[in-house]
Every structure is written in structure tokens, then in C-alpha cells.
């Protein structure tokens, strides 16, 4: 199984159910440090300009960023992990609060998908991720809703199987939410994006597989 980089930000309290294993990496992005400490989880690295936290914490590995920069603390944390070979990212505390930061994190997930990497953004009740020119599956135990939105101008060859509303070779555009509020129906479900990048939103209790 791929090593996982867990990044915890200063967004809404979404419940830190992460259980890092040997080889995984836990990064606190600025104010996410307080959330990790409150949960009794020690980060391996703390990265940020510390405008949210107020001051740099006293940890073994602290990377202080300038307050004036072109990237968010979350992006800087991802870049740090990618340079160390990580390709799978689980983001907590990266939704809610300022909607602009939530949108920025969704864009990060899309960028990672286009580079062949995986990013899951854990909200209070849902997971947001991106898929690019690939097929992903959900088991028959999956429940609740699944929404599929075009992030690219157009996603072509979109097929949704084993869901309440199916598509076969359809096109989705980023100007019309055709794929909102689909639902699992107790069958193995597949989402195929022939070309382009799409954003998927589904209930947090479910798990997606390649």
C-alpha cells in the first residue's frame, strides 16, 4: 500500500480519525498543529507562516514560510511531501471556514490527479477528491450520495455504472452540474472519466478504489 501523507490544516473540526502507520508522514499546516495536539497526535513536520497559530511551535522540524508568498501553507506542505516521494495525500481541516481556501484545496486535488497522484479532502461528513482520465470503483457496501463535477472545461467519455442514475460515454462540462446528487444502490459502482479531470464528492464512510 502506498505511504500516506496526512496534512492537517486550520479549517473546520472534521474529526481526526487518521491512524498513521510506519512510513507515513504527518504534517501540521500552520493552525492544524493545535488540532493535532488536541487529538494527541504528534506531527513529524510543522509548516506555515503561523498567522493562524500565532507563533511557530517548538518542534524538531519546523519550516517557517514568509507571510507574503504565492502558495498556501497546505500547498507548501504537499510540495514538501512530494519532494520526499509521497503520492497519496489525506487532508483534514482543509474545508469550512474561508470558502476561498476550500476552493484552493479542491484545485490542489485536481492538480495532483492530473499528475497521477491522489488527494482526499476529509470534511465533516463527506470526502472530496479528483480523478483524471481514469476509472475508480466503490464497493457494494457504499451508501449515500455521490456527485461528479467536471473540473476541466469538458470531461468526455464519462460513464457511471451501478448507481441510481447511470451515464454511458457522456460529456460533463464545468458550467452545468449534471452529475450532482447521484446515489449508491447496493451495487459495485464505477466512475469512468475518459478524458479530463472531475471532482467527486461522496459520504465519508465510503472508500474509493482504483
Identify the residue whose cell numbers are 449515500: 144
CATH superfamily of 132-209: Thiamin pyrophosphokinase, catalytic domain (3.40.50.10240)
Q: Is the pLDDT at 22 greater than 70, yes or no?
A: yes
pLDDT band at residue 1, thresholds of 50, 70 and 90? low
| 4-124 CATH fold | Rossmann fold (3.40.50)
Identify the residue whose cell numbers are 460529456: 171
- Summarised one tens digit per residue, pLDDT across range 77-134 is 999 999 999 999 999 999 987 899 899 999 999 999 999 999 999 999 999 999 999 9
CATH 3.40.50.10240 intervals, the chain: 4-124, 132-209
pTM for this entry:
0.94
Identify the H or E element spanning 101.
Answer: helix 99-114
Burial (CB count within 10 angstroms: exposed 0-12, middle 13-18, buried 19+), residue 142: buried
Amino acid at each position: 500500500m502506498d505511504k500516506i501523507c496526512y496534512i492537517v490544516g486550520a479549517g473546520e473540526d472534521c474529526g481526526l480519525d487518521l491512524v498513521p502507520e510506519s512510513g507515513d508522514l504527518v504534517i501540521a499546516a500552520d493552525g492544524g498543529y493545535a488540532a493535532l495536539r488536541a487529538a494527541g497526535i504528534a506531527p513529524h513536520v510543522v509548516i506555515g507562516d503561523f498567522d493562524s497559530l500565532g507563533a511557530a511551535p517548538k518542534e524538531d522540524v519546523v519550516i517557517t514560510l514568509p507571510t507574503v508568498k504565492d502558495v498556501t501553507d497546505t500547498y507548501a506542505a504537499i510540495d514538501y511531501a512530494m519532494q520526499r516521494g509521497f503520492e497519496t495525500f489525506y487532508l483534514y481541516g482543509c474545508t469550512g471556514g474561508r470558502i476561498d481556501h476550500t476552493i484552493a484545496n479542491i484545485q490542489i486535488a485536481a492538480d495532483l490527479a492530473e499528475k497521477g497522484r491522489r488527494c482526499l479532502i476529509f470534511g465533516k461528513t463527506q470526502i472530496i477528491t479528483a480523478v483524471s482520465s481514469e476509472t475508480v470503483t466503490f464497493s457494494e457496501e457504499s451508501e449515500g450520495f455521490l456527485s461528479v463535477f467536471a473540473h476541466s472545461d469538458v470531461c468526455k467519455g464519462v460513464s457511471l455504472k451501478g448507481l441510481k442514475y447511470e451515464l454511458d460515454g457522456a460529456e460533463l462540462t464545468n458550467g452545468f452540474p449534471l452529475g450532482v446528487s447521484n446515489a449508491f444502490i447496493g451495487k459495485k459502482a464505477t466512475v469512468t472519466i475518459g478524458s479530463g479531470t472531475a471532482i467527486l464528492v461522496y459520504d465519508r464512510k465510503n472508500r474509493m478504489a482504483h
